[in-house]
Chain A
Amino acid sequence: MSAERGAGAYLGTKVLLDREEGGPAGYYALLSDALRDELIGLGLITAAQVRREVERLEAPGIHLGARIVARAWMDPEYKALLLENGSEAAERLGIKVGEAQLVVVENTPRVHNLITCTLCSCYPRSILGQPPAWYRNKVYRARSVSEPRKVLEEFGTHLPADIVIHVRDSNADMRWMVLPRRPDGTSDWSEERLQGLVTRDSLIGIAEALQP
């Protein structure tokens, strides 16, 4: 690849795929941009294919997790399946799980689960989309395992003293999602309405579901 063409191609696609948001691109960002440009230049892939793949990666959103949680709040049999086999339960709602295995853990009056990935940024992306920036941050990754209570406090999540914390460090093939506690005062709510109480952060245990 000539330096001239490489620089031009880089500038041409940078607008579309800039992930550094104004800052200087890091080593791996430059490397992946250069590789992409070279593959496009050789005609092995097209810019449209790259764009579609980015779109596919970023398209899932918390609405899929919210559907799963609201169904589990409504249907005890579904909840049992969800805790037994998360992937199968998701697929029953027509939600395809791309990761090896989705494992769902339940928050109870006694146990609060927190999801993290100390080694990188493993996250149930096929259901929740891309993780928040702080989830990929080295400080969160280090502190979420060693001082989870303090981290939760800093996010405004104040747990009662008699609750124990289970930290789930996603370091290998399982992908974790939290089944948050159903808020009080919602016993007559419809499944659709309940979905509105489920937030991204409640699905990874950094917060609880919204209170009505």
Chain B
Amino acid sequence: MPVPRFTVGTAVQVLDLPIEGHIRIPAYARGKIGVIERCCGPYLNPEDLAYGRTGGPAVHLYQVEFSQHDLWPEYIGDAEDRLFLEIYEHWLTPARPPSWRQAS
């Protein structure tokens, strides 16, 4: 099992991969920048599992923190409102820290 590519606190951008079929990355998060809140460990990829491919490989899963105002342009709420989503490693790429993380 390769070591996790990202660590807690790292800024990441969610890729918009052209994968068809069963995927677990909601459309509203594609292209958005967040910060790794938790490394969840390796899990079998649902993009394989949904089609009976149960042999792996497992992929690292991360809990990623997003600012609600980054996700929804019309969002009404506190500047510190957050949304947390689990993203598999191959959907993430390093990014510049979002403004809300630089400030804190």
In Å, the complex CA distance between A173 and B60 comes to 11
Q: How large is the interface on B (under 10, 10 to 19, 20 to 34, 35 or more residues)?
A: 20 to 34
B81-97: which residues lie under 8 A (CB-CB) from chain A? 81-88
In Å, the complex CA distance between A167 and B43 comes to 22
Pick the residue among A100, A101, A119, A150 that contacts B24 (CB under 8 A): A119
Whether the pair B84, A168 counts as a contact (CB closer than 8 A) is yes
In Å, the complex CA distance between A131 and B70 comes to 29
The reply to whether the CB of A165 lies closer than 8 angstroms to some CB of chain B is yes
Whether the pair A165, B24 counts as a contact (CB closer than 8 A) is no
In Å, the complex CA distance between A187 and B66 comes to 36
Pick the residue among B43, B78, B83 that contacts A169 (CB under 8 A): B83
The reply to whether the CB of B8 lies closer than 8 angstroms to some CB of chain A is no
Pick the residue among B25, B61, B83 that contacts A173 (CB under 8 A): B61
The reply to whether the CB of A149 lies closer than 8 angstroms to some CB of chain B is yes
In Å, the complex CA distance between A169 and B87 comes to 11
B43: nearest chain-A partner, CB-CB: A173
Whether the pair B61, A172 counts as a contact (CB closer than 8 A) is yes
B58-74 Cβ-contact flags toward A at 8 Å (1 or 0) = 00010100001001100
In Å, the complex CA distance between A150 and B76 comes to 9
17 pairs from A and B in contact (CB 8 Å cutoff): A119-B26, A145-B28, A146-B28, A146-B71, A146-B75, A147-B72, A148-B68, A149-B77, A149-B81, A164-B78, A164-B81, A165-B82, A166-B83, A166-B84, A167-B81, A171-B25, A172-B43
- Chain A interface residues toward B at CB < 8 A: 100-101, 118-119, 145-150, 161, 163-174
